[in-house]
Structure 1
Amino acid sequence: MKQLRITLWIIVAIAGSLFALFAYQLSQPKDEFVRSAMVGEQIPEFDLEPAFADRPGLSSADFANGEPALLNLFGSWCIPCRVEAPQLEALERQGATIHAIALRDREEDVARFLSAYGNPFTRIGRDDISEIQFALGASGVPETFVVDGSGRITYQHIGIVAEGDIPVLMEELRKAGSGS
């Protein structure tokens, strides 16, 4: 009987400890910002074939021309990519150079997507197996990186570029161009 009582107290103590741990974790402020391990690092080496005939392919060397640029990861199959398309065109109108990587896509689907939603991209590479996406540490699509003129990633925007993100991205491009 004494053994049973001790066992029950141990179970109650373990359950109480777990409850206290869960309550503590729930009381901590939520951190929704995903920190990229690639910010501050050189863009990975790559050389991608064109995603479709109207734009050249993309390589890491295209980011080492002395001018900052945006790198947008998208897919024609990606609904959020359609939502951000007008904001990417607004960025281009404001002078941003935007290169893209089409992920797991077919040429005809990319062409149809760009025809329907606009084409603000200077160059579009094709990443059929998401190799570059994973090398960049990207969690999904859409995702946009600011790359300085030496090929170093200075900023990462995860998810849809919304209208309110345009000034932030333009400022990040400005900072990447000034070396700050």
Structure 2
Amino acid sequence: MLKRLIYVLPVLVFLALAGVFLTGLDLDPRAVPSGRIDKPVPAFALGPIEGREQGLAAADLADGRPVLVNFFASWCVPCLAEHPLLMKMAREEGVRIVGINYKDRPEDARRWLDRHGDPYTRIGADIDGRTGIEFGISGVPETFVVDGRGRILAQHIGVLTEEALEDRIRPLLKEAAE
């Protein structure tokens, strides 16, 4: 009996560990709950990117109107993938979107926006990445839904998709506007 257990036990341990690891691979990293939800946006004040007169501060996000806060960078390929959707939302749906240019040179951000379009009502340059850390981002792009009081309602990690907008972002913006 003991000999059989010696052969079976390592197999059972291996299967248990394999099950744990395989389950982890199926998890959606965008579904990780944020510790920032239902809390005020962190205090920050960012200077403008090149070509803009105004930067962005936490107070700009608490003016009574809901807003999308989008972290982006000119060097970010996924940011380019979601950019047409942001342009459409700003132009056709009137969604208020502000940008935080993350770890980028302000002149590179300006050229990128000149080339691809500018959906942002205001942009702050987070050159050292400190504001991104305060928001708890893991990379770019990341987007936050913020209500008119400056409280974070949702965090979307990665590229915005039409599905994510329809299922989560638009309903939250609508609710926050009421």
TM-score category by the smaller chain? 0.7 to 0.9
TM-score between the two structures when normalised by the length of structure 1: 0.86
Give the secondary structure class of the aligned counterpart of 2:70.
strand
2:164 is the alignment partner of 1:165:
yes
Correspondence 1:109-148 to 2 at 5 A: 109-148=108-147
Distance in 2 of aligned mates of 1:28 and 1:87 = 32
Judging changes above 3 Å, is the alpha-carbon distance between structure 1 residues 20 and 112 closer, same or farther for their aligned structure 2 residues?
same
Counterpart position of 2:52: 54
- Percent of counterpart pairs with the same letter? 38
TM-superposed deviation, 1:11? 6.9
Quick check: 1:55–1:122 contact (8 Å CA) kept in 2? no
Counterpart position of 2:88: 90
Correspondence 1:96-111 to 2 at 5 A: 96-111=95-110
Give the secondary structure class of the aligned counterpart of 2:121.
strand
TM-superposed deviation, 1:58? 0.4
Distance in 1 of aligned mates of 2:4 and 2:106 = 66
Counterpart position of 1:31: 27
Counterpart position of 2:174: 174
Give the secondary structure class of the aligned counterpart of 1:54.
coil
Give the secondary structure class of the aligned counterpart of 2:37.
coil
Quick check: 1:65–1:150 contact (8 Å CA) kept in 2? yes
TM-superposed deviation, 1:44? 0.2
Q: Which runs of 4+ in 1 moved over 6 A?
A: 8-11
TM-score between the two structures when normalised by the length of structure 2: 0.86
Distance in 2 of aligned mates of 1:162 and 1:27 = 26
Give the secondary structure class of the aligned counterpart of 1:173.
helix
TM-superposed deviation, 1:15? 2.6
Counterpart position of 1:3: none
Distance in 2 of aligned mates of 1:80 and 1:156 = 17
Judging changes above 3 Å, is the alpha-carbon distance between structure 1 residues 171 and 77 closer, same or farther for their aligned structure 2 residues?
same
Quick check: 2:49–2:107 contact (8 Å CA) kept in 1? no
User: Is there any run of 5+ residues in structure 1 with no aligned partner, and where?
Assistant: 1-5
TM-superposed deviation, 1:97? 0.4
Quick check: 1:52–1:124 contact (8 Å CA) kept in 2? no
User: Is there any run of 5+ residues in structure 2 with no aligned partner, and where?
Assistant: none
Give the secondary structure class of the aligned counterpart of 2:38.
coil
TM-superposed deviation, 1:23? 4.0
Q: Deviations over 1:120-141 (max 9, x none)?
A: 0011001111111111111110
Give the secondary structure class of the aligned counterpart of 2:98.
strand
TM-superposed deviation, 1:106? 1.2
Q: Which has the larger radius of gyration?
A: 1
